[in-house]
Amino acid sequence: MDPRTFNGLEEDDYLHNPEPRKERINSSGHIFTGRGLVNLGCLLILVGSIVVLFCGYPIISWLNKPQQSYLNGFGLGGTNRTGQVPDIPGIRGLIDRDTPQEVRTKSDYVTGKKWQLVFSDEFNTEGRFFYPGDDPYWEAVDLHYWATGNKEWYDPKAITTRNGSLEIQLSNQTNHGLNYTGGMLQSWNKFCFTGGLVEASVMLPGYNNVRGLWPAIWAMGNLGRAGYGASLDGMWPYSYDACDVGTVNNQTIGQEPAAALEGNDPYNNGALSFQPGQRLSRCTCPGESHLGPLHDNGEYVGRSAPEIDMFEAQVFGDRVAGVSQSCQWAPMNWKYQTDGTYDTADPTLSRNNSYSGGVYQQATSVVTATDQTAFEFSGGNYALYGFQYKPGFGDAYISWVANGKTSWTLHQSLLGPDPVVGISDRAIPQEPMYLIMNLGMSSGFGEIEFDKLTFPSTMRVDWIRVYQDPNAINIGCDPSAFPTSAYISQYQEAYANPDLTTWVDDYKQVFPKNKLLEQC
């Protein structure tokens, strides 16, 4: 169609006939109209809100939050340098509020004197976890316990609280290339005690007639952290404060004493010791790296990481379940034999452990038949275990408790000098001790009946409590007589990195010079 033939205007022609001069935007206008100001204000509010949300709010929250006082401390949960926590709302105290009043004092097992509760955990709060930072007193480790050849990886996820008990589970879940997952809970550098009575109400895992599980509750000196090999090298299981051959590598100088070279560990050519020597010994040369304190004659106090085992449970050859209750020692007696007999309460229930030691430790140990109904799949009851001890020399002792009764007592006099191998008295542990609870497996501990075990299996702890003589209260991980915090801070990587297995080769540190070896 040819537009030239159109005869006139159509109704909508105005839409197609713009007049630029008339309809152009008025360039003389501005935004400061009512509508413009509203639009600009909305944009400013939006931008300001975003800035406050992502920048201002975190700063304001940090400035206004209540600042917790750590009381010159370095521990988690507000613990101070002695391992104590103030009674502040929201922070659990040393004594669990759920601990019944009637058990806050207890007659000790040796003298019958009333002792005072100084620490407790009833585990009544549902769903607790123990990852680093979760709890003021406990921490679950995340590592392979290689030193004893364990089959499992210790993972914090294996530990929680349920139905009023602590649960430590061993499962057949693959973890870090291992076929099993277990758990280990420690109070290392958080809660420690020196002397006293430790008790726990425990349901052991599995069946009472199937071998292979390794449940344990024990204590170790705070200068060694279980599972962290470098921290333990030259520290565990010494409990020694003398300057003699007991402090040196292999308990020998040259080929002396001859008794330390033959007739001892049959699996290691009769050698007595493969220990590297006591790292922080009384023989340490002046000015070397030793945290002290000092004796009156200027010699260092021998320091270490001793071990006391409340129990390690297993099923024996007669298919009767029992608990091994022990203390580990270095330096070692000739042939790992103490000077005397153990004080066993009931010989019908308890007997000397056939294992007395090897090149890395001497063991004083008694095996006691336990309550056969206090197992997860055999009765489901709880039994009472514990140990009571007085640190030091002379009248010092350790008494163990099984089934709620004293099972046996070790007197310090049995750990006297041994002239055959040239060593002196060993002390009932004087170091501040921390608590450990774990469930794992190792063929080094005993036969594992894989075809009969049930997974998962769970050790349950209804409660754990620590009592002390009211005239000898000594709690905390850094007591003045046996300090630990400065040394741990100086060598903190040894206590934080489980991949460092030795002090010298892995951690690249040196043992302090020893004056007995004429190194000063």
Return the HEC string of 117-156: EEEEECCCCCCCCCCCCCCCCCEECCEECHHHCCCEEECH
pLDDT one-digit tens code per residue, 236-282: 999 999 999 999 999 999 999 999 999 999 999 999 999 999 999 99
User: pTM higher than 0.75, yes or no?
Assistant: yes
- The average pLDDT across 406-432 equals 98
3-state secondary structure of 109: coil
pLDDT at position 457, please?
A: 99
| Amino acid at the residue 28 | S
Pick the CATH number of 107-517 from 2.60.120.200, 3.40.190.10, 2.30.30.830, 3.50.50.60: 2.60.120.200
Q: pLDDT confidence of 512, banded at 50, 70, 90?
A: very high
Tokens of 21: 């001069």
Q: Catalogue the long-range contacts made by 133-137 (C-beta closer than 8 Å, 24 or more residues apart).
A: 133/76, 135/76, 135/77, 136/75, 136/76, 136/77, 136/78, 136/79, 136/85, 136/91, 136/92, 136/190, 137/77, 137/79, 137/85, 137/92, 137/94, 137/187, 137/190, 137/191
pLDDT surpasses 80 at 98: yes
The Cα–Cα gap between 367 and 322 comes to: 6
CA 362 to chain centroid, in Å, comes to 23
pLDDT at position 483, please?
A: 98
pLDDT surpasses 50 at 321: yes
pLDDT at position 7, please?
A: 57
Q: Which of 365, 347, 340, 343 is nearest to 355 (CA)?
A: 365
Higher pLDDT, 15 or 373: 373
pLDDT at position 194, please?
A: 99
CA 39 to chain centroid, in Å, comes to 62
Q: Which of 283, 284, 247 is nearest to 422 (CA)?
A: 247
Contact at 8 Å (CB) between 183 and 439?
Answer: yes
3-state secondary structure of 387: strand
The overall longest dimension of the chain from CA atoms, in Å, is 137
| Angstrom distances, CA of residue 194 to CA of 101, 154, 197, 472, 480 | 24, 27, 10, 9, 12
Contact at 8 Å (CB) between 236 and 503?
Answer: no
First to last CA, the chain: 118
With a CB cutoff of 8 Å and minimum separation 6, the contacts of 439 are: 158, 168, 169, 170, 182, 183, 205, 213, 214, 215, 216, 457, 458, 459
Please report the sign of the dihedral spanned by the C-alpha atoms of residue 371, residue 373, residue 377, residue 380: negative
Please report the sign of the dihedral spanned by the C-alpha atoms of residue 362, residue 152, residue 191, residue 124: negative
pLDDT at position 88, please?
A: 47
Higher pLDDT, 37 or 68: 37
pLDDT one-digit tens code per residue, 364-397: 999 999 999 999 999 999 999 999 999 999 999 9
Instruction: Give the count of beta carbons closer than 10 Å to the beta carbon of residue 318.
Output: 8
Among 253-262, 292-301, 310-319, 425-434, the minimum mean pLDDT is found in: 310-319
pLDDT at position 43, please?
A: 80
The Cα–Cα gap between 40 and 31 comes to: 9
pLDDT at position 74, please?
A: 39
Q: Which of 293, 122, 99, 319 is nearest to 209 (CA)?
A: 319
pLDDT surpasses 50 at 510: yes
Tokens of 96: 């669990």
* Average pLDDT for the chain: 90
Q: pLDDT confidence of 39, banded at 50, 70, 90?
A: confident
The Cα–Cα gap between 149 and 225 comes to: 17
Contact at 8 Å (CB) between 325 and 402?
Answer: yes
| Angstrom distances, CA of residue 2 to CA of 10, 11, 15, 96, 133 | 15, 19, 20, 101, 88
Q: Which helix (H) or strand (E) holds 46?
A: helix 34-51
pLDDT surpasses 50 at 159: yes
pLDDT one-digit tens code per residue, 325-349: 999 999 999 999 998 889 999 999 9
Tokens of 335: 């042939």
Higher pLDDT, 58 or 214: 214
Instruction: Give the count of beta carbons closer than 10 Å to the beta carbon of residue 310.
Output: 25
pLDDT surpasses 70 at 89: no
pLDDT at position 65, please?
A: 41
Instruction: Give the count of beta carbons closer than 10 Å to the beta carbon of residue 289.
Output: 15
Q: pLDDT confidence of 72, banded at 50, 70, 90?
A: very low
The Cα–Cα gap between 167 and 156 comes to: 11
pLDDT surpasses 90 at 126: yes
Compute the radius of gyration of the chain from its Cα atoms.
33
Contact at 8 Å (CB) between 406 and 412?
Answer: no
- The average pLDDT across 346-354 equals 95
Q: pLDDT confidence of 450, banded at 50, 70, 90?
A: very high
DSSP annotation of 54: I
What is the share, in percent, of the chain residues with pLDDT greater than 90?
A: 81
Q: pLDDT confidence of 50, banded at 50, 70, 90?
A: confident
The Cα–Cα gap between 307 and 429 comes to: 8
Q: Which of 222, 220, 195, 249 is nearest to 397 (CA)?
A: 195
CA 22 to chain centroid, in Å, comes to 87
What is the share, in percent, of the chain residues with pLDDT greater than 70?
A: 86
Q: pLDDT confidence of 10, banded at 50, 70, 90?
A: low
Q: Which of 452, 378, 369 is nearest to 407 (CA)?
A: 369
pLDDT at position 261, please?
A: 98
pLDDT at position 349, please?
A: 95
pLDDT at position 77, please?
A: 38
3-state secondary structure of 425: coil
User: What phi, psi does 49 have (nearest 5°)?
Assistant: -65, -40
| Amino acid at the residue 232 | L
pLDDT at position 94, please?
A: 98
pLDDT surpasses 60 at 63: no
Higher pLDDT, 421 or 34: 421
